[in-house]
Amino acid sequence: MTPVDASLWPFDLIIWPIVLPLIGATLSFVLPRLAVPLGVSTAFVTLLSVAALLLEVWAVGAESYALGGWAAPLGIALYADGLSVVMLLMAGAVGALISVYAAGYFKLGALDIAIFWPLWLFLWAALNAIFLSNDIFNLYVGLELMGISAVGLVVVAGGRTAVVAGTRYLLVSLIGSLAYLLGVALLYGAFGTLDLDTLAASITPVPAAWAAVALITVGMALKTALFPLHFWLPPTHASAPAPVSALLSGLVAKASFYLLLRLWFSVFPAALTPAVVHLIGLLGAFGILWGSALALRQSRLKLLIAYSTVAQIGYLFVLFPLAGPNGWGSEAWSGGVIQAFSHAFAKAAMFLSAGTLAYAVGDDGIESLGGVTKHLPLSVVAFGLAGVSLIGLPPSGGFTAKWLLLLAAFGTGQWWHALAILVGSLLAAGYVFRVVQVALSGGQGRAARLTPRRLEVASLTLALIALLLGFASAPLLQLLSIGVPA
Amino acid sequence: MNADPFMPLFVLLSSLVPSLVIFGLSDRQAGLRRWLYLGAEVVKLLLVVVMAERAAAGAVYEFSVPLLPGAELVLRAGPLALLFLVLSAGLWLLTTIYANGYMAGTPHQSRFYGFFGLCVTATAGVAMAGNLLTFFFFYELLTLVTYPLVVHTQSEAALRAGRTYLRYAIAGGTALLAGVIWLYVLAGAVPFTEGGALAAAGLGEQRAALTAIFVLLILGLGVKSALVPLHGWLPAAMVAPAPVSALLHAVAVVKAGAFGVLRVVYEVFGVSLAQELGVLGPLAVAAAITILYGSWMALQQDELKKRLAYSTVSQLAYITLGVSIAGAEATAGGIVHLVHHGVMKITLFFCAGVIAKTLGLTRISELDGVARRLPATMVAFSVAALGMMGLPPLAGFVTKWYLGLGAAENGELWPLAVLVLSTVLNAAYFLPIIYRAWFKAPPGPFTEKLPPSRFETRWVLLLPPLVTASLTVLVGLLATTELGALQWVSVIAERELPYAPEDIIP
């Protein structure tokens, strides 16, 4: 990590992706009547600030920033490298499009809830804070803020199922963060620092470090829903309103994964044993197969998509054994990050189009979708194109991810992971086309409720980005390589 | 010779852009759609013909962009690619004219033409792919854009066929991907190279891995080229509208598979390495089994399109057989069959479509005396069917002659026996149709499905099969002249394969 002092812009950019959504959240909380325009404009302004930061990192390299001018051991350090800005971009672009969708969606029927906006913007600020923090305690603060606002979003629709799911989610979230906090305390006790760079330099394989790694890993695996700790994800993601499901599956799951990625590769390598690395990879591989197989068996569309998330998260963890403990910037590592990135777009597109479809036909049973192509062709197309990325067919981002992961699997001779990845693709094709087939069949279809075109356009845009992301692989990979230690 | 590197890209865009525009047009804008589409086709045809002419003089067109680290998307239009391109661009134009008559008055035409154009785009990409990654890229794209065409009518049967198609195609694509990546790990991006990219790579001790990779690649390609037992989707896909079947069978999907086998054997592994690994023998056996099994199954079918579909299964394996019997003549016979089978099979499907659309007949047992009502159609059908059987001087004869010659040259007699047996079977399933149509009396008046017109059916339906039937005669008659496909194959042999043109046309 080589922070550079030079700057492209006359002011510090790194704090704006955190500050802007916080301002937006406060304003939309104080002025609920204006929540929608405030929320949507905050989304685009935040996206702009992310784009500006991205340009700066692209032009001058990784940069760090000490909040309030205090240097690392005392002050709060922010750090933006290629990985950070790629994650910020993911949250920014997906978040902005979900905001556009939500602005239309929450006007439908009885779903007029202004509280969505402050919660979502707080969540966004927390996400960006996690992606930019260079300090394990601040990461904890980000995690808690994210967890609390996510729980709020799950119960936002009201109703018994939502409250049950929300309570379960709250517990999982708290246990995960608590495990993380214990790990942080152990690390601080043993090495006396919270800063990632200092910690990376001083960490040694002592029992306290092992315990900390174990606690943090289990906590984050629980929050990311790694098999077999995924039990809470399907009911939670499936019971939330569509834009919330899209946020949870697309973005929130990625934050805890990001944390694990950064800590495992830049802080923990000295404290890791090969057995742990292989274990987490095997759990990922099982997650791919288990999640896909269950997705095939679902009769409700949103549950199908949620199980697909369990499977797609499995791919993320396969990168650990493929990259090896020092594999920051390797093929497998980049493949995993691109998987997280493109899955955010594809899965958000899927949940949003499912939301439109479910609203139009009145329920989210897959069999109810017969003939729905007649009324909502764009939503079905969005679902299908997002599916292409999940299956990993070219030219999608999912294809790039699978290509890189498979290269690493064949290259390191870990053929069982290659097998899991390939079988996962086949199963994904199975559950995606199962839905498409039903949507194409069945004559006239049910009389569908009218839905604003804006909803369809938002989900289709997300799906198209996921589909065409393969063409942007080269610049994306170049961006990711910024800040990779030589 | 220096050539414009953007030409291959233009070839792709010439069908990609209009197809995407057409998705946005409603069925009310049919006029605009028709002219846009035909304009695109004429442009594409002109582009590839100009490229072919310059390529004959030695030009090589190459365009590449980085796609993944260490792996570029390479479009390269050499003689082999152009053979496929000219065929697909020409038949696309004819098929569209035909489709204008066939699809008239049906719903969702914009969707139909859009995906139809994307299908041709993906085929052009398959033809021009300059390395395995690019090939895979377009091969999978082809799977995706063909699916909406197979399920176009959205009937229960069409959806079932679509499901079958996807099962086979996606499983095949997965095997192909595994092979491509494994090979990438061993040898890098593997550009398609004359004489075989791997021959020079010095992978002598990797025999087991190379054999496994070959098997994976052939499994993946075998699905689209309908190598038994991977052919199950093809007869099922017959529920698609006739123009789709015509294009699927003549150029797009099945030929993409056969073309891939060709690339893998000649330009990835190279004949000598493939022979050393001992993989060509089993491939030839698989092709022979496919030839006989396909013919045998064709004989059992009463539904005309199904019989034609099994005939495709059988005929395509000629290409694979030609590729796997090494030697200049057999290779020429295999490659030239890409074109010959294309023009013959598209004629047959056009005719089957005319009969179904005009008289509502789809079964062979209903075709008694149909030639009295549709004489011109049945002339075209008969010419193509006789060509399939291998009657000199029609297109199919040239193929079989060269395949037989190649096998005999190698001192292998069993392929000859397969050729003879398959010709007998071809006759057994085509002659009864011709006999019924021309010599039996119709059981009663035909039910007319179309309003009366000046010709025996809509002229847009009649013209394309007549053109392709004439081509069947011409490519056979003119095989060894400048205009014949065989002549072009000798150019390919010189430029891209380890053979001299004199070995093909003395």
pLDDT band at A444 (very low <50, low <70, confident <90, very high): low
Residue with tokens 């989610």: A169
Cα dihedral angle (A138, A144, A149, A155), rounded to 10 degrees? Answer: 170
Residue B353 near residue B246 (C-beta atoms within 8 A): yes
Q: Which residue has the higher pLDDT, A324 or A183?
A: A183
Q: State the total domains in chain A.
A: 1
Residue B358 near residue B325 (C-beta atoms within 8 A): no
Residue B184 near residue B132 (C-beta atoms within 8 A): yes
pLDDT at A109: 63
pLDDT at B57: 82
Domain presence at residue A412: yes
The range of the structural domain enclosing residue A283 comes to 275-485
Query: How far is residue B119's CA from residue A191's CA, in Å, rounded to a whole number?
Result: 61
pLDDT at A3: 43
Whether residue A395 has a cis bond before it, omega within 30° of 0 = yes
**From B144, B181, B182, residue closest to A403, measured CB to CB:** B181
Domain presence at residue B320: yes
Closest-CA residue of A relative to B137 is A394
B442 by Cβ neighbours in 10 Å (0-12 / 13-18 / 19+) ranks as: middle
DSSP codes joined into one string, A273-341: -HHHHHHHHHHHHHHHHHHHHHHHH-SBHHHHHHHHHHHHHHHHHHHHHHH-TT-TTSHHHHHHHHHHH
Residue with tokens 């939301």: A355
Report angle CA B106, B111, B116 to the nearest 5 degrees.
100
pLDDT digits (tens, 9 = 90+) for A33-67: 898 999 999 999 999 999 999 999 999 888 888 77
Query: How far is residue B481's CA from residue B496's CA, in Å, rounded to a whole number?
Result: 20
A108 by Cβ neighbours in 10 Å (0-12 / 13-18 / 19+) ranks as: middle
pLDDT band at A113 (very low <50, low <70, confident <90, very high): confident
Which residue from B249, B341, B352 is spatially nearest to B302, judged by alpha carbons? B352
pLDDT at B406: 87
- Report chain A residues whose CB lies below 8 A from the CB of B156: 441
- Report chain B residues whose CB lies below 8 A from the CB of A429: 166, 170
Residue A45 near residue A98 (C-beta atoms within 8 A): no
pLDDT band at A4 (very low <50, low <70, confident <90, very high): very low
**From A411, A441, A473, residue closest to B68, measured CB to CB:** A473
DSSP B504: T
Domain presence at residue B201: no
pLDDT at B413: 85
pLDDT at B2: 54
pLDDT at B198: 83
At residue A258, the 3 state secondary structure works out as: helix
Residue B467 near residue B94 (C-beta atoms within 8 A): yes
Judged by CB atoms closer than 8 Å, whether chains meet at A393 and B140 is answered as: yes
Which residue from B442, B452, B468 is spatially nearest to B377, judged by alpha carbons? B468
DSSP B303: B
Domain presence at residue A309: yes
Residue A462 token pair: 């997300």
pLDDT digits (tens, 9 = 90+) for A252-304: 999 999 999 999 998 888 778 888 899 999 999 999 999 999 999 999 999 99
pLDDT digits (tens, 9 = 90+) for B381-432: 999 999 999 888 888 888 888 888 888 888 888 889 999 999 999 999 999 9
Residue B186 near residue B139 (C-beta atoms within 8 A): no
Whether residue A241 has a cis bond before it, omega within 30° of 0 = no
The range of the structural domain enclosing residue B367 comes to 291-505
Q: State the total domains in chain B.
A: 1
Domain presence at residue A98: no
Judged by CB atoms closer than 8 Å, whether chains meet at A474 and B184 is answered as: no
Residue A354 near residue A242 (C-beta atoms within 8 A): yes
- Report chain A residues whose CB lies below 8 A from the CB of B71: 403
Whole-prediction pTM value?
0.93
Tell me: pLDDT of A420 over 90.
yes
At residue B193, the 3 state secondary structure works out as: coil
Domain presence at residue B313: yes
- Stretch B208-213: mean pLDDT, rounded? 92
Query: How far is residue B189's CA from residue B128's CA, in Å, rounded to a whole number?
Result: 16
- Report chain A residues whose CB lies below 8 A from the CB of B144: 388, 393
Query: How far is residue B348's CA from residue B351's CA, in Å, rounded to a whole number?
Result: 5
Beta-ladder partners of A300: A365
DSSP A65: E
Residue A337 token pair: 């990050």
Residue A300 near residue A366 (C-beta atoms within 8 A): yes
pLDDT at A1: 40
Q: For chain B, give the number of residues.
A: 506
Judged by CB atoms closer than 8 Å, whether chains meet at B144 and A393 is answered as: yes
Q: Which residue has the higher pLDDT, A68 or A405?
A: A405
Domain presence at residue B253: no
Amino acid at A372: V
Tell me: pLDDT of A112 over 80.
no
**From A395, A406, A440, residue closest to B159, measured CB to CB:** A440
Closest-CA residue of B relative to A468 is B67
Domain presence at residue A364: yes
Tell me: pLDDT of A446 over 80.
no
Tell me: pLDDT of B1 over 50.
no
Q: Which residue has the higher pLDDT, B494 or A420?
A: A420
Tell me the C-alpha to C-alpha distance, in Å, between residue B93 and each of A412, A438, A474, B86. 48, 33, 36, 11
DSSP A133: B
pLDDT at A160: 82
Residue B327 near residue B271 (C-beta atoms within 8 A): no
Closest-CA residue of A relative to B138 is A394
pLDDT digits (tens, 9 = 90+) for B175-184: 999 999 999 9
Quick one: how far is CA B295 from the chain centroid?
A: 18
pLDDT at A111: 59
DSSP codes joined into one string, B417-430: HHHHHHHHHHHHHH
Runs of H (alpha helix) within B225-303:
233-236, 242-250, 253-262, 271-277, 280-300
Q: At what angle do helices A331-361 and A253-262 cross, to 10 degrees?
A: 170
Domain presence at residue B264: no
Residue with tokens 């579909």: B309
- Report chain A residues whose CB lies below 8 A from the CB of B171: 426
Judged by CB atoms closer than 8 Å, whether chains meet at B166 and A470 is answered as: no
Domain presence at residue B461: yes
- Stretch A94-102: mean pLDDT, rounded? 96
Tell me: pLDDT of B174 over 60.
yes
Beta-ladder partners of B77: B61
Closest-CA residue of A relative to B72 is A474
DSSP B105: T
Domain presence at residue B118: no
A interface residues, B as partner, C-beta within 8 Å: 331, 373, 388, 391, 393-395, 400, 402-404, 406-407, 410-411, 418, 422, 425-426, 429, 433, 437, 440-441, 470-471, 473-474, 477
Judged by CB atoms closer than 8 Å, whether chains meet at B66 and A474 is answered as: yes
Query: How far is residue B497's CA from residue B506's CA, in Å, rounded to a whole number?
Result: 17
Q: Among residues of chain A, what percentage have pLDDT more than 90?
A: 68
Tell me the C-alpha to C-alpha distance, in Å, between residue B303 and each of A269, A461, B307, B363. 66, 44, 6, 4
Beta-ladder partners of B76: B62
At residue B268, the 3 state secondary structure works out as: helix
pLDDT at A2: 41
